[in-house]
Structure 1
Amino acid sequence: MKKLALLFAGLSLFVATGCDNDDNNNTIEYPIVGTWQPIKKVVTTVAVGETPVSDGISFDTDCQKTSRWIFKEGSTGKRTDNGDGTSPGTCQPTFDRNFTFTYDRDTKAIQVKYQGIVEPDKGKVTMLNETTLNIAFEDKTDPTEFHSETYTLKRIPQ
């Protein structure tokens, strides 16, 4: 009977401590580096004392689907937004700039500084996984109005 009690106590101890492994963190950190296609943008504006307004913009035309945000090693990149050209069936860049960026994995803060533009865009990465990147940029220049633009981007395999 003593052997059975010792066996039961040993199994209980194994179950209570043997399966608990706090050192094994299975969180995968996906890189922001890569080529991304914008899928949609949500613009939210809230003026003091006014009703909030949000507009969703889908990048669903053939030209818009060729837009790319490229984040490279070394904190550089290029953003090209494409739209319909003046001739039917043609595309033209509506925004085409090189940039530098900083991204803090811990706080999820991101700053994008476009070539030729004085003020950097400051925001937060709200989601980053294998296939999706959501970035929310806030414009804090007007103290009477909250303005944000949240982009959803899809990773383009290379």
Structure 2
Amino acid sequence: MKKILFFTMMAGMLMTVSCRNDEKEEEVTSVIGNWKVQKMTAKGTFTSGGFPIPVPNTSSESACVRDSKLDLNADKTGFVLLKQDITGPCEEIGNDNFTYAYDPDTKTITAKYNGSIEEFTVSHLTNNEMTLKQVTAISTPQGIFNGEITLNMKK
């Protein structure tokens, strides 16, 4: 009798475990929206006057950076206004209209503007937050930055 009770209990436990879904379903979110930059982080090398200077994870949450925005519309058009003060005084480094495609499988946004194509990796996405990363080269009046830019944004 004890063996039957034991096996019945074990079978019940196995059924409970096998029927339970411990995997949380990933919330379906969209990149579409009006995004305001909260923080910009740069990591790479800044070259000025022919001299490379390492930029080790430098970030800014200044008013300059917070003036930046990214609008991604449902019709696959967008607008970006990007300002930075990581490499010196506040300066506008992007102010463009563009078209884009988003691939949720690779988590990549491909933007096309003025004959150029740029790719951004979406490393974090919720209904109200998005983090974009891009390996890039940016020319500024002070020099050229080569490395990775990360933008933390909120709707």
The partner residue of 2:135 within 131, 138, 154 is 138
1:65 correspondence with 2:63: no
Give unpaired runs (5+ residues) of structure 1. 84-91, 141-145
Separation in structure 2 between the aligned mates of residue 119 and residue 43 of structure 1, nearest angstrom: 23
Q: How far apart are 1:25 and its partner, in Å?
A: 4.5
- CA gap of 1:67–1:53, structure 2 versus 1, over 3 A, is closer
- CA gap of 1:45–1:30, structure 2 versus 1, over 3 A, is farther
- Normalising by structure 1, we get a TM-score of 0.66
Separation in structure 1 between the aligned mates of residue 58 and residue 28 of structure 2, nearest angstrom: 28
**1:80-119, aligned counterparts within 5 Å?**
80-81=81-82, 95-114=94-113, 117-119=114-116
Aligned to 2:76: 75
Separation in structure 2 between the aligned mates of residue 149 and residue 123 of structure 1, nearest angstrom: 10
RMSD: 3.4
Separation in structure 2 between the aligned mates of residue 135 and residue 81 of structure 1, nearest angstrom: 13
Q: How far apart are 1:70 and its partner, in Å?
A: 1.0
Equivalent residue pairs, number: 136
Per-residue CA deviation, residues 79-111 of structure 1 (Å, 9 max, x unaligned), is 12368xxxxxxxx97632211111211111221
Give unpaired runs (5+ residues) of structure 2. 85-90, 138-144
- Normalising by structure 2, we get a TM-score of 0.67
SS of the aligned residue for 1:19 comes to helix
Separation in structure 1 between the aligned mates of residue 132 and residue 108 of structure 2, nearest angstrom: 9
The partner residue of 2:7 within 9, 29, 33 is 9
Separation in structure 1 between the aligned mates of residue 129 and residue 44 of structure 2, nearest angstrom: 21
